[in-house]
Structure 1
Amino acid sequence: MIHLAHGNLLTAKADALVNTVNTMGAMGKGIALQFKKAFPENYAAYVKACKAGEVQVGRMFVTESTRLDGPRFLINFPTKKHWRFPSSMAFIEQGLAALVQEVRARGIRSIAIPPLGCGLGGLPWAEVKARIEDAFADLPDVDVYLYAPAGAPDAATMPNRTSRPKLTHARAAFLGAVDHYQKLVFIDDPSLLEVQKIAYFLQEVGEPMKLKYQKWTYGPYADNLRHVLAELDGHYLTGWGDGANKPGQKIVILQETLPQVEGVLEQAPETKARFDRVAALVEGFESPYGMELLGTAHWVIKHELPPGEEPTVRSVAPRVQDWTQRKANLFSEDDIGVALEHLKEHGLAGTPSA
């Protein structure tokens, strides 16, 4: 029997939970990332199976859980071959036939199924739902809890059973800087856009963050920061959740981890000095607007002015406004001048005005 369900699939009281995967061994976004954090043993087995070529479209990769408080089976359902590509309805149909076979063979009495191939996969929910209902029509005694697309559950409610990662000097500086910024903002939590710029400036003042920044819509952007956030999420911060990577999503440092963060910084004076420098830099610019402006102006000065040219409003403002039409509409010459002077005062752009 089909039951339309709501909430967090990972906490469903069912014999089996279905996870949507690709055949490449990546669980980087969406419900797959939630499964990766909630069931690390399943993820490790899945990666090994992908390397061996055992995870294929039209076949289920099933692992059994020994946890007393969770599902018996975790069923990895390939909805696409490569994580970059969209899902195919043919893959869903082939997979559903294999899924029903697994349910019969393993005596599964209840199963929770996400919106297969929808969301990141791009398939229409109404068509997928109809195919799931058809596939289970001959199994009326099996309770099928079917979850419609509804966005990710709150990040703080997502199970995370991964091991706590090592707190390196760079990570401590990053966490400390975001927390400092969080306290400056006060009335709201920092957005991913702002967190990106905090990490950018930490790297610019010399902290080896190993981030690959490039020119992007909202200023300097490092796609590989997502890996740092995914590893820290649930241990030192919350908000990354299913890895949606949206500029406005909120990132919050877990306050109980701060003594450890502060302890690491106290043992690393060079990193602590860089942290202090960024903490001072962001004051007065604590908003998405302010941080985008500051990051964009700095990028222009470093990457777009002729070598050796002293940055001025006359040279920087047109380049900031030429970045995109959005920035031209958003950032006035006066505001760019304020950001430029602030960067100079903090040793990140030429010589301060007299």
Structure 2
Amino acid sequence: MITQASGNLLDAQVDALVNTVNTVGVMGKGIALQFRRAYPAMYREYIKAAKAGDIRLGRMHVWTNDEALTGPRYIINFPTKGHWKARSRFTDIEAGLDDLAKVVRHLGITSIAIPPLGCGNGGLDWAQVRPLIERTFAALPDVDTRVYPPAGAPQAADMLNHTCRPRWTVGKAALVDLIARYGERTLDVSIIEVQKLMYFLQEAGELLRLDYQKGRYGPYADNLQKVLQAVEGHFLTGYGDGSRPVASAEPIAPLPDAPAQAADFLVDHPDTLTRSQRVLGLASGYESPYAMELLSTVHWVATHESRPVTTPDAAASAVAAWSPRKATLFTPAHAHAAWDHLAEHGWLHQQV
């Protein structure tokens, strides 16, 4: 029996859950990241198999949940693409479904939950993938097959997380502390604002090893996302699985007790606290995604371009040249005001 399901796939009460994976051992986003957090032991086995070359397109990787008293007995990793950056192909989904059917028969699975294979980051059309799944499981009428169409990720707080709590480091403590103190001034803290707070903290001299580049919303460090993944559900909440577009992403907020723990940790790191306070001083009056994007963009063109600008007029022109979006969004007057604010707080030409 095939039914269309809704809600959080990981909450399905079935014999087997299907997880979509690549063949190179990366579960960094979307439903794969949700599985990684919910079943850390499975993730470790998947990594070993990927390193051994045993994760292949068209072949299932099955992990048995030996400790399961309730919930799924099996997690079936379904390779939908080779490299995590690649697009999925229908031929690989078809071959994988054939092998999945064999696995279901062999293990005697009576109920299974299946996500939208190869859709989302894989780029395939659900209207074409769904018939492939239905055709495959029509031949298994005794299996309770629950198919989940694309519906977006569940709320961050509803995602299972059985990973070990990471240890505090200066960088993690500074991240939580900045978000907590900045958040006291504003209703919500967006992922854009988190990126900019850490950008300015690094610019203030904190050794964070964040690789900032020019992005759509100003300076952006992709490796900061990995830090947010690690602390999600332990120190912070809101990042979730990182799959939501920026415009619809949840706000990032510290979990109870995390700000106090971060503050206690930073007592022994007064230089970091001084830099954080300097960032908060700069952010005063600019507490919004729009304003922090503007401030960081103006700072970038004055400090990181191959030919840094040296006047507010040049900064306004450089901001407009960044992208058509910025040219429309940020007026010359706004760029001038941001330049003056940066200069007043000592962030231009004398960075630390």
Q: Give the TM-score band, short-chain normalised.
A: over 0.9
SS in structure 2 at match of 1:215: strand
Matched with 2:193 is: 194
- 2:152 aligns with 151
Deviations 1:187-218 (A, max 9, x none): xx221111111110010001111100111221
Contact 1:174 1:202 in 2 (8 A): no
Q: Check whether the contact 2:153–2:244 (CA below 8 A) recurs between aligned residues.
A: no
Cα distance in 1, alignment partners of residues 256 and 345 from structure 2: 28
Determine whether 1:140 maps to 2:141: yes
Give the Cα–Cα distance (whole angstroms) in 2 for the partners of residues 91 and 27 of structure 1.
19
Structure 1 segment 79-118 matched on structure 2, within 5 A = 79-118=80-119
Cα distance in 1 for residues equivalent to 2:346 and 2:3: 61
Deviation at 1:178, TM superposition (A): 1.3
Does the residue aligned with 1:74 lie in a helix, a strand or coil? strand
The answer to whether 1:41 aligns with 2:41 is yes
Over residues 287-346 of structure 1, what are the superposed CA-to-partner deviations in whole Å (9 max), with x where a residue is unaligned?
A: 111101100111011123857x8x332332222222222222222222222211211222
CA deviations on 1:244-303 (whole Å, 9 max, x unpaired) are 263332222213311111111112111111111112111100111110110011101112
Q: Secondary structure at the match of 2:207?
A: coil
Measure, in 2, the Cα distance between the counterparts of 1:238 and 1:149: 23
Change (3 A) 1:271 1:78: same
Q: How does 1:168-247 map to 2 (within 5 A)?
A: 168-186=169-187, 189-244=188-243, 246-247=245-246
Uncovered stretches (5+) of structure 1, i.e. residues with no partner? none
User: What is the DSSP-based 3-state SS (H/G/I as helix, E as strand, rest coil) of the residue aligned with 1:130?
Assistant: helix
What is the number of equivalent residue pairs in this alignment?
347
For residues 306 and 9 of structure 1, what CA distance do their matches in structure 2 show?
50
Q: How does 1:1-354 map to 2 (within 5 A)?
A: 1-65=1-65, 66-186=67-187, 189-244=188-243, 246-248=245-247, 249=249, 250-304=251-305, 311-350=310-349
Structural RMSD (CA): 1.5
Q: Secondary structure at the match of 2:26?
A: coil
Q: Give distance in 1, aligned partners of 2:323 and 2:138.
A: 53
Report Cα offsets for 1:11-45 as digits up to 9, x if no partner. 11001000001111011111111101111111110
Which amino acid is the alignment partner of residue 256 of structure 2?
Q
Q: Which of 46-55 and 266-275 deviates more? A: 266-275
Structure 2: how far apart are the matches of 1:81 and 1:245?
Answer: 23
Aligned-pair distance for 1:58?
1.2
TM score, norm. by length of structure 2: 0.95
Amino-acid identity (%): 52
